[in-house]
Structure formats: C-alpha cells, structure tokens
C-alpha cells in the first residue's frame, strides 16, 4: 500500500475519535495525520501510534499535502470546506448527508459496491449508519435473488445522536439512581426507560428524514431504483450499536437455511442464530465490533418468498468510522495498482 497523508475533520467528535482509533487499529498506511476541529478544540492532544498529535483549527488552507480527508463534522461544515480539500488534491470521504444523493458522488459500502469508488471526482460519500448496517446484510441475499421489497424497523442507540446523545442517556440514568430530576435537552423526550419513534425531522409524506435516507440511499447503493423500502426508525435507550428488524420479499424463495449459508459467506457479517440456546445478536455484545451480526433468521409466515431476520451493528464503527476507513483502504489499493 502507498503511504498517504490523512486529515480528520471533526477530530474531537465521537466519530472523529473513532476514525483515529480505527486508522491505528487497522494499521492504515499513514505518512502524516492531521486532526482538524473548531477553534475551541485547538491544542488538544491525542495519541496516535505512540505519538501525540495536536488538534489544529480547521481552515480552508488546512489541506495542503493531504491525500485523504475524512470529514465527520456535519453537512454544513462539509459544504463549506470540501471544495478546499478537493482543490488541494485531497480525496474527501464525507460522513455527512451533504453529498449522499448527489448523482456525481458515489455512495459506498465496500462490502456492497466497491467498484463505484472509481467514479469519484474528489468526493466519496459515506452512507447513513442505518443504511450501512442494512445493506451489508441485504447484499448476499440480493446477489442470490433480487430483493423486491424491504420492510425495516430500526432500534437506534443513543450513539446515533453523537456524544451528546450518549451523555444525555447516561446523565438520565445517573439522575434516576440518585433520585434527581431527569432532564431532557438533546432528544425530544426522555430516552431512559422509553422509546422515541422519531429520528430527524418529519417530511411531508409523514416519514422522517432518517427514514427517507434509508429509502433513497439503499436504492443508490444497491444500484436498483425500483427496490421498495418501507422504514420506521426508533430511538432506544441503548448506549451504542443499532439493531434492525428486516423483512424482505425476494423474486425467488430463499429458505432460512440458504439465508444462513449466504450470510455466513458474506464479508462483514457474522451469523449468531441459535434461538434454542438463546443466541442472537444484541447491542450489548456487538458494541465495539467491526462486523454486523445477523440472527433470528426465519421464514415470513404471511408471504411467499418472504424472509425475516435481525441485524445489529456498531453505529460508530461500521455505521460511520470503520466504513469511511474501509473506503480509504480501497482507494489506496487502487492507487497502488496504478
């Protein structure tokens, strides 16, 4: 692999910090690492491969000499600074929603559509976390028999709302134990002991923006504009890792036994499916893992060619930081071959 210079934009956020950890854990071939954030974070130091790296203020001139810029600071920051990075000859891998549905920007999950990376013109988009976790599981089924329809209900942890979301859930738990008033600041309602069927803003069609991301991004990633997707996204009081209950209708029947075989042979998936021994994926055990875990695989009793299964993935890792780094790894492989 070619050694390259990497910048992380939003380096002090939950995903930015995870990006740094993943780069080190996977021994990504870095020549120089830049940590970029807002002015209030300047001077903070983080360890990387045994050395301290100091956070610098994000400016339009920050990208000189950078080969790959990993952005995770929100859509408004991406729109403001990505052109400066591209003008400096860096390839941007953007974790925000800014470019996901731009026809000129590939939307990549390396286990699903790595070949689309070569279509980039300086910017590659990282999909939404819920979409990533779902399409990793859909891909092996789709390759065996085209998926006509997907009905998905998500159980999204506090980590999906970033560090502030996780902190609020922990504060609410501490307040409950201490007998103090439970305060709600970040979520629409108290998350502790509750479920909130509302993630992001509602659209005119009564679906939320988060739900419509799953519809539109799945079609783009799978390269199938006709696949039907009906999502319901719910915030749950788990700290980390998202869960999804998925029902698919395929053109030809896929038995549960065949589905287990397909899942087991697919990259980025592990099968945990032994109900008799109470073995099934849960956020408690999937948090911190790179792979997505699938279980509760069973036939849909109400539909011919229908299949139900349950998928859990770490939203901060595979749903964000890891996926971005995997895209960077694919980029560097391509450079090494050229």
Catalytic-residue membership of 129:
yes
On whether the 131-315 domain is CATH 3.30.230.70, my answer is no
What number is the average pLDDT over the span 258-281? Answer: 98
Average pLDDT, the chain: 97
Question: Quick check: 159 and 316 in contact, CB under 8 A?
Answer: yes
Which of 4, 129, 233, 292 does the annotation list as catalytic?
129
Q: Which CATH class is domain 4-127+320-337?
A: alpha beta
The domain segmentation of the chain, as residue ranges, is 4-127+320-337, 131-315
Residue 248's nearest CA partner among 266, 229, 264 is 229
What number is the average pLDDT over the span 54-70? Answer: 98
Q: What is the pLDDT of residues 180-239, one digit of tens each?
A: 999 999 999 999 999 999 999 999 999 999 999 999 999 999 999 999 999 999 999 999
Residue 132's nearest CA partner among 329, 313, 326 is 313
Q: Which residues fall within 8 angstroms of residue 150, CB to CB, at 6 or more apart?
A: 134, 138, 218, 227, 228, 229, 230, 246, 247, 248, 249
Question: Quick check: 141 and 250 in contact, CB under 8 A?
Answer: yes
Catalytic-residue membership of 242:
yes
Residue 147's nearest CA partner among 51, 252, 244 is 252
Work out whether strand 292-299 and strand 306-313 pair parallel, antiparallel, or are unpaired: antiparallel
Which of 120, 233, 242, 292 does the annotation list as catalytic?
242
Q: Give me the pLDDT at residue 174, please.
A: 98
Q: What is the pLDDT of residues 170-181, one digit of tens each?
A: 999 999 999 999
pLDDT confidence of 338, banded at 50, 70, 90?
A: low
Which tokens go with 271?
Answer: 């099968």
| pTM, rounded to two decimals | 0.96
């Amino acid at each position: 692999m070619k050694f390259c210079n990497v910048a992380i934009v939003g380096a002090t956020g939950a995903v930015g910090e995870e990006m740094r950890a993943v780069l080190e854990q996977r021994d990504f071939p870095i020549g120089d690492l830049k940590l970029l954030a807002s002015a209030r974070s300047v001077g903070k130091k983080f360890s990387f491969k045994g050395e301290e790296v100091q956070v610098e203020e994000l400016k339009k001139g920050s990208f000189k000499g950078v080969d790959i810029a990993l952005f995770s600071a929100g859509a408004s920051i991406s729109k403001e600074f990505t052109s400066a990075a591209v003008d400096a000859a860096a390839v941007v891998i953007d974790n925000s929603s800014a470019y996901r549905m731009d026809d000129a920007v590939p939307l990549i999950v390396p286990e699903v559509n790595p070949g689309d990376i070569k279509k980039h013109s300086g910017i590659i988009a990282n999909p939404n976390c819920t979409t990533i976790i779902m399409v990793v599981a859909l891909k092996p089924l789709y390759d065996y028999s085209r998926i006509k329809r997907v009905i998905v209900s998500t159980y999204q942890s506090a980590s999906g709302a970033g560090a502030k979301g996780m902190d609020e859930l922990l504060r609410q738990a501490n307040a409950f134990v201490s007998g103090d008033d439970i305060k709600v600041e970040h979520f629409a309602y108290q998350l502790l002991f509750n479920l909130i069927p509302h993630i992001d803003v509602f659209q005119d069609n009564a679906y939320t923006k988060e739900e419509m991301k799953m519809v539109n991004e799945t079609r783009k990633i799978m390269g199938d504009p006709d696949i039907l997707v009906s999502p319901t996204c719910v915030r749950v009081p788990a700290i980390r890792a998202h869960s999804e209950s998925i029902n698919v209708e395929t053109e030809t029947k896929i038995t549960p036994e065949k589905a287990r075989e397909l899942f087991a042979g697919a990259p980025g998936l592990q099968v945990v499916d032994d109900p008799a021994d109470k073995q099934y994926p849960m956020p408690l055990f999937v948090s911190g893992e790179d792979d997505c875990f699938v279980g509760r695989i069973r036939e849909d009793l109400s539909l011919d060619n229908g299949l139900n299964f349950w998928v859990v993935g770490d939203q901060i890792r595979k749903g964000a930081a890891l996926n971005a780094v995997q895209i960077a790894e694919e980029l560097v492989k391509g450079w090494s071959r050229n």
